[in-house]
Amino acid sequence: MSNKIKSKLKFWSIAFDVCLAGIFVLTALALGAQLYFTFGSYSTDLRNIENWKTLASTFSFPLGVAGAMLAITSLVGLYQRSLQLSLQLVKVEDQIEISNKQFSKSSEQFELAQKQFSLANRKENFMLYIEHKKAVKNRLDTYLNVLVSSCDALAERVEYLPGLELRNDRLYGRIFSQNTALEMTHFALEADIQVFQLSASKIEEEFEKFVKLGASDIHIKDLDEILNIYAEVGMDINFNSYRDGSFQQGGIWLVSFFLDIMRATMALSDLKVLEGSTIQDYCIRLTLDVIDANMPS
């Protein structure tokens, strides 16, 4: 469309120039022709007022030609100007279209940059999540392993058979629930007590029941509530680790069980999710009671 307008504009620009020149040329020719053909038939006395009064009517032909050429030139000029405006509008529209394309491209680049930033942020957050989760597990594993020797010493005449198993995914999801693979908000290796804290009183109530029941009368079915409480935070007891598969009431296997619960309690205390000093005392007391009941000195 732009080329078509340019072609027309070029033609009408030439036509305007021709008409503009024609005003002077045709008017001069008309005046010359009139003077030539009417030579001697009019007065040239400039002092005669009548000559001035009839000047327009005398030279009406060349003046008419000049007027007609002025009108034609004006029309041609107006059309030429309209074509110039049309061409300018087309250029403006083309520029707007180019600007829109550039803006669209910039928007696409911005969206791509946002996606790349979001992806990088998700990757970084995911790595932080994995590393924090790993650090928590390493801390607990180290602490629990150190406690094994302490439990061996407490068991004295009885072999301590560790059966505590850490389920880190469950533990982390429960204790550090504010952290996800998409967003990390807590970076300390100790839990935020405002988010999660295990009730010590409920566990202590269960141990009170064991004390009242007596070490020699504790049955495996009596441990269900305690097992559920610790399992909720990823601390499972694998009874297959205890060699005495009979699990008789008040049996020596309870030594390893109570020492495992003590280790789990101390590990949770280290994470600040449980105030376990009283529970530890209960575990030691019951461990010694089981040993005394099964292996009297």
* 7 falls within a domain: yes
Residue 144 inside a domain? The answer is no
Tell me, yes or no, whether 198 and 287 share the same domain: yes
Kind and range of the H or E element at 5? Answer: helix 2-37
> pLDDT digit string (tens) for 63-104?
788 888 888 888 888 888 887 888 788 888 888 888 888 888
- pTM, entire model: 0.64
6 and 94 share one domain = yes
pLDDT band at 53 (very low <50, low <70, confident <90, very high): low
Distance, CA of 21 to CA of 155 (rounded, Å):
124
Residue range(s) defining the domain that contains residue 98? 2-115
Tell me what the mean pLDDT of segment 172-182 comes to: 92
Whether 186 and 250 share a structural domain: yes
Number of folded domains that form the chain? 2
Boundary residue ending a domain (115, 130, 148): 115
Residue 57 maps to a domain: yes
Identify whether residues 167 and 102 lie together within a single domain: no
For strands 164-166 and 235-237, give the pairing.
antiparallel
In a domain? residue 284: yes
If asked whether residues 171 and 77 sit together in one domain, one would say no
Q: Which of 76, 81, 75, 86 is nearest to 15 (CA)?
A: 76
272 in helix, strand or coil? coil
CA geometry: angle 53, 67, 85, nearest 5 deg: 145
Q: Which residues contact 261 (CB under 8 A, 6 or more apart)?
A: 226, 230, 237, 279, 283
Does 33 share its domain with 86? yes
In a domain? residue 139: no
Q: DSSP string covering 194-226, please?
A: TT----HHHHHHHHHHHHHH-GGG--GGGGHHH
Whether residue 166 is found in the same domain as residue 269: yes
What are 220-265's pLDDT values in tens digits?
A: 999 999 999 999 999 999 988 887 656 787 788 999 999 999 999 9
